[in-house]
Amino acid sequence: MAETMRRNFDVLVVGAGPAGLAAATSAARVGAKVGVVDDNPAVGGQIWRGEVSKATSDASNWAAKLHSLGVEVICGAQIVHHDIASRVLFAETRFALLEIRFSKLILATGARERLLPFPGWTLPNVMAAGGLQAMVKSGLPISGKRVVVAGSGPLLLAVAAYLRAHGAKVLAICEQASWNSLASFASGLLSHPGKLRQALILQRQLLGIPFWTNSWPVRALGREALERIIISRNGTQREISCDYLACGFHLVPNVELASLLGCALEGGCVRVDDAQQTSVAGVFCAGEPTGIGGLELALIEGQIAGIAAAGKSERLRELRGRRRKAQQFARRLEKAFKLRPELKTLPDSGTIVCRCEDVTHARLARHSSWRDAKNQTRCGMGPCQGRICGPATQFLFDWDPGSVRPPLFPTRVESLASVSYIAPAEHSQLTGERQ
Amino acid sequence: MSVRVYDAVVVGAGIVGAACADRLSREHLNVAIVDRGLVGGGATAAGMGHIVTMDDSEAQFALTRFSQQLWIELRPELPADVEYRQCGTLWVAADEPEMQEVIRKHRYYGERGVATSILTRMELAELEPKLRPDMAGALLVPEDAVIYPPCAARFVVARAEQHGAETFLGGTVERIDNGSVLLTNGTRFSAGIVVNAAGIAAPALTSTLDIKPRKGHLVITDRYPDFVRHQIVELGYLKSAHSVTADSVAFNVQPRATGQMLIGSSRQYGADHSQVDDIILSRMLRRAFEYIPGLARTSALRAWTGFRAATPDKLPLIGPWPEDRRLLLATGHEGLGITTSLGTAALLADHVVGRTPRIQPEPFLPARTFLEHVHA
Ligand SMILES: Cc1cc2nc3c(=O)[nH]c(=O)nc-3n(C[C@H](O)[C@H](O)[C@H](O)COP(=O)(O)OP(=O)(O)OC[C@H]3O[C@@H](n4cnc5c(N)ncnc54)[C@H](O)[C@@H]3O)c2cc1C
Ligand SMILES: Cc1cc2nc3c(=O)[nH]c(=O)nc-3n(C[C@H](O)[C@H](O)[C@H](O)COP(=O)(O)OP(=O)(O)OC[C@H]3O[C@@H](n4cnc5c(N)ncnc54)[C@H](O)[C@@H]3O)c2cc1C
């Protein structure tokens, strides 16, 4: 059986994206012994994925900061299980099980893309927008390829800019939101100079790429892989030949770990108080899981959580002021990119909704709830644990997501078998409690 | 307040209630099925779906075998999603004393008309190469099968509905009294007979029942087609199922039609929370590794728990309840309710129409526990 490694921290941070990095450095700066765990090979989260090796990048700057503050960074480790009553999380690496003890915990687990099913979306080369970006970052040649970027949210622009910079021919960006809602969002940027600057830079990078509002993919076509897509734009359909469709409908917060630990959710996000503390004492949450708010809010929330988790209060007043402002932006974001109901009618009866278990829309439509559908069709019970089809069916059928069961991610059976073998003393105490 | 009138009201749409409703509606009774949750969402959704003949006692053998034959009869009608697969059971003997048990079992089954075969160490290793090679041998029971229980329950309810049964979901039964069924939402049913098929919740409606929840854990893996080919159970399983007090674990692995595997099993009394208990879970998994070391490196997708409705004598309660002449019980199926649901429903229907049943009903009559109860 693989070995078990042990760690112990004052403050443990899960997630090394902007929120987690800010949290870890803030907590370490005020004297806490801090550890950061992330399932990626290096720090940076979604936005700075793969950038740590560059000499000057945000990710490498943060990595240097962590290093100088003595923060232990554990990458390539995924939190899969917990014993929250004993203040322990279990992480799995390729070779070992890690038992990580902590006094305070900060969840900075970020967000993922929302994928919505439409006919043909399972064809090869129809990809999640950020997913395609990540593949290009890890070496997929994109130069000269024709790409349509479609769906919803600011991520589409970032991905389009990135792909273009790497030689892709971006044929169009299709945003489902209406021009009106985007226009009021854009005018709101005037009160967020930082965002405005970013937007202007992006605009320059995207110069010449058609940006269509009121537009979304209705069908992807091709024999073995994607060849063409049909886009609905202002109510009329047009066909476009392309090599890739990069597609995502804004983001969904990763709340599964919080939920497994018993943290209360509200409107699909982790509920936190003024100090970013969740309903579970000693467990904090920062960044996208508390609501999709972008980089700036993630950084501020991370700092607040880090300072509060370390038991300090310096700078909290100032940070709270900045957080209020960034939250306004988050609310605008949510309003501007609200999904239109027409998207619910995209799948036809044969469209696969759950890719892990090959469950079609027609089979799901017969059921009354997520639980009923899971039971009868095993939708959401494959290796992705419903991370893709869960948010999709929530949108399509208004189903409430169910409870989260361990393990959080597919886990080697031997790791599950090792979990309780780690601290016999603690555990006998625990069973005493439970019986 | 309006009262809905039926010949029979079945409380519980688990596999047992579903089967009872189906049988009764095919006897031309006007049947209602009431469940507070989903069809097949209780223990039926948590269990393994092994259709197995067991020889814990003569009565258990008779009921499981009879039920298995009913499943075989039903098989041509089962839709694909019930995933009926006759994979057979391998009762694995770890050592020579257990091999003696294999021989005894072989004889016992044979004398009762069930063909089984004894496998030597070599034959076993060939059939199941992932098993540790130093097992002593095994008994193969070829007619045992596996199904996917929630879809089976749904199919059986649909069949009842085709015969006129009506299903009421989302309503909790608060009280059953002499043919009257009262729901917490105020709905009232009136029926010639009421079947309490509420599984572990049955005592909440029939208060003097001696049924205890017995917790079990299961783990499901990712897809590993052909990793194991039979439901494989250690012979020590019987010791585990027998023990009426201590927590126990036993090696039990099931190949699913999808190529996934279910790894079991554990038994615990007195655990009332449904959370996964890591200590039991790890004992259970380590037991499995002792038989199939390669399981350690497979990927687990989920772990969960379920509760079996256990009676003191390990036999289900099927038939009339002496305290209420309109009440029939169909509960207490412990770890065999998926298998024995069909036999239970047949016994119940035979009782209702006054037909001679195909197996002896007496060992299952609830009066047996009632008498003990009164005399105690
Ligand atoms: C696919 C994708 C691509 C994006 N690309 C851009 C972009 O190019 N530009 C831009 O401005 N914004 C981008 N965003 C938005 C950006 O992520 C947010 O604006 C913000 O930076 C989020 O920061 P965060 O720290 O909350 O989360 P994240 O950056 O998402 O960091 C969370 C980290 O936690 C890890 N994690 C989660 N659960 C576990 C677990 N159980 N165990 C171990 N580790 C875990 C994740 O792998 C991840 O590394 C992208 C978002 C997504 C989903
Ligand atoms: C881990 C495990 C493994 C198992 N493996 C196997 C196996 O391999 N083979 C096998 O044959 N058996 C197995 N079993 C046993 C089997 O799952 C059960 O015996 C069987 O599911 C019992 O069915 P049921 O219909 O009696 O109960 P349930 O499925 O629990 O149904 C009872 C129903 O009654 C409803 N209900 C309860 N109270 C009320 C009320 N007041 N009002 C309205 N509705 C109510 C509930 O909502 C529920 O749907 C296993 C069990 C477990 C826990």
CATH code, domain with A123: 3.50.50.60
Would you list the DSSP string of A10-24? EEEEE--SHHHHHHH
Ligand number nearest CA of A408 is 1
The alpha-carbon gap from B30 to the nearest alpha carbon of chain A, in Å, equals 25
* Residue B2 pLDDT class (50, 70, 90 cuts): confident
Residues A136 and A262 in one domain: no
Of chain A, the percentage scoring pLDDT greater than 90 comes to 82
CB contact B295 to A (< 8 Å)? yes
Residue B15 CA to ligand 2 center (angstroms) comes to: 7
Residue in A with minimal Cα distance to B281: A417
ipTM confidence score: 0.92
* Residue B243 pLDDT class (50, 70, 90 cuts): low
Residues A209 and A289 in one domain: no
Alpha helices in B36-133 (DSSP H): 43-46, 58-74, 96-111, 121-127
User: Per the CB < 8 Å rule, is B301 touching A382?
Assistant: yes
Residues A31 and A108 in one domain: yes
Residue nearest to atom 8 of ligand 1 (CA): A47
What does the pLDDT look like over B42-51, one tens digit per residue?
A: 999 999 999 9
Closest CA to A6 of A91, A105, A109: A91
Query: Residue A428 pLDDT more than 50?
Result: no
Q: Which residue among B81, B270, B298 sits closest to A413, beta carbon to beta carbon?
A: B298
pLDDT at A430: 39
The alpha-carbon gap from B134 to the nearest alpha carbon of chain A, in Å, equals 20
Answer with the one of A223, A249, A275 that is the final residue of a domain. Answer: A249
Residue A177 CA to ligand 2 center (angstroms) comes to: 47
For residue A157 the two structure tokens come to 């622009």
For residue A230 the two structure tokens come to 């049909």
pLDDT at B139: 98
B47 ligand 2 Cβ < 6 A: yes
Residue in A with minimal Cα distance to B280: A420
Average pLDDT, whole number, for chain A? 92
Query: Residue A274 pLDDT more than 60?
Result: yes
* Residue A424 pLDDT class (50, 70, 90 cuts): very low
B42 ligand 2 Cβ < 6 A: yes
Query: Residue B1 pLDDT more than 70?
Result: no
B266 ligand 2 Cβ < 6 A: no
Of chain B, the percentage scoring pLDDT greater than 90 comes to 92
Residues A245 and A259 in one domain: no
Residues A120 and A104 in one domain: no
Q: Tell whether A305 is covered by a domain.
A: yes
Q: Tell whether A419 is covered by a domain.
A: no
**Whole-number Å distance between alpha carbons of B124 and B98:** 14
* Alpha-carbon distances of A350 from A225, A279, A346, rounded to whole Å: 18, 42, 11
pLDDT at A56: 86
For residue A61 the two structure tokens come to 């700057």
For residue B153 the two structure tokens come to 């329950």
Answer yes or no: are the C-beta atoms of B25 and B130 closer than 8 Å. no
Alpha helices in A206-346 (DSSP H): 256-260, 294-309, 316-336
pLDDT at B237: 63
CB contact B277 to A (< 8 Å)? yes
Backbone angles phi, psi at B9, to 5 degrees: -115, 125
Give me the half-sphere count of Cα atoms (radius 13 Å) on the Cβ side of residue A89.
Answer: 28
Contacts of A376 in chain B (CB under 8 A): 40, 81, 150-151, 154
CATH fold of B85-144+212-308: D-Amino Acid Oxidase; Chain A, domain 2 (3.30.9)
Query: Residue A425 pLDDT more than 80?
Result: no
* Residue B376 pLDDT class (50, 70, 90 cuts): very low
Query: Residue A153 pLDDT more than 90?
Result: yes
* Residue A190 pLDDT class (50, 70, 90 cuts): confident
CB contact B296 to A (< 8 Å)? yes
The alpha-carbon gap from B215 to the nearest alpha carbon of chain A, in Å, equals 13
Q: A79: which DSSP letter?
A: E
* Residue A426 pLDDT class (50, 70, 90 cuts): very low
Q: Tell whether A75 is covered by a domain.
A: yes
* Structural domain of A375: 347-397
pLDDT at A104: 98
Residues A87 and A143 in one domain: no
Residues A185 and A237 in one domain: yes
Residue nearest to atom 2 of ligand 1 (CA): A130
Q: How many CB atoms lie within 10 A of CB A143?
A: 10
Residues A294 and A388 in one domain: no
Answer with the one of A219, A234, A249 that is the final residue of a domain. Answer: A249
What 3-state class would DSSP assign to A52? coil
CB contact A402 to B (< 8 Å)? no
Residues A282 and A294 in one domain: yes
Residue A354 CA to ligand 2 center (angstroms) comes to: 27
- Taking residues A50-64, report their average pLDDT: 88
Residues A43 and A135 in one domain: no
Residues A40 and A155 in one domain: no
Residues A69 and A138 in one domain: no
Q: Tell whether A93 is covered by a domain.
A: yes
Q: Which residue among A378, A385, A420 sits closest to B282, beta carbon to beta carbon?
A: A420
Longest dimension (CA), chain B: 70
Residue in B with minimal Cα distance to A407: B302
For residue A314 the two structure tokens come to 């310096």
Which range among A336-350, B178-192, B239-253 shows the weakest confidence by mean pLDDT? B239-253
B339 ligand 2 Cβ < 6 A: yes
Q: Tell whether A339 is covered by a domain.
A: no
Query: Residue B239 pLDDT more than 70?
Result: no
pLDDT at A421: 55
Q: Tell whether A333 is covered by a domain.
A: no
For residue B364 the two structure tokens come to 């299952």
Query: Residue B372 pLDDT more than 80?
Result: no
CA Rg value for chain B: 20
Sign of CA dihedral B343, B346, B352, B354: negative
**Number of structural domains in chain A:** 3
Answer with the one of A249, A282, A301 that is the final residue of a domain. Answer: A249
Interchain CB contacts (distance < 8 Å): A and B: 100
The residue with greater pLDDT, B180 or B368, is B180
The CATH number of B3-48+149-211+314-375, from 1.10.357.10, 3.40.50.300, 3.90.1200.10, 3.50.50.60, is 3.50.50.60
Q: So where are chain B's domains? A: 3-48+149-211+314-375, 85-144+212-308
Ligand number nearest CA of B271 is 2
For residue A45 the two structure tokens come to 């989260």
Q: A401: which DSSP letter?
A: P
**Whole-number Å distance between alpha carbons of B151 and A291:** 37
Answer yes or no: are the C-beta atoms of A371 and A363 closer than 8 Å. no
* Residue B370 pLDDT class (50, 70, 90 cuts): low
The alpha-carbon gap from A255 to the nearest alpha carbon of chain B, in Å, equals 17
Q: Which residue among B277, B281, B299 sits closest to A412, beta carbon to beta carbon?
A: B299
Closest CA to B154 of A352, A356, A374, A350: A374
pLDDT at A423: 42
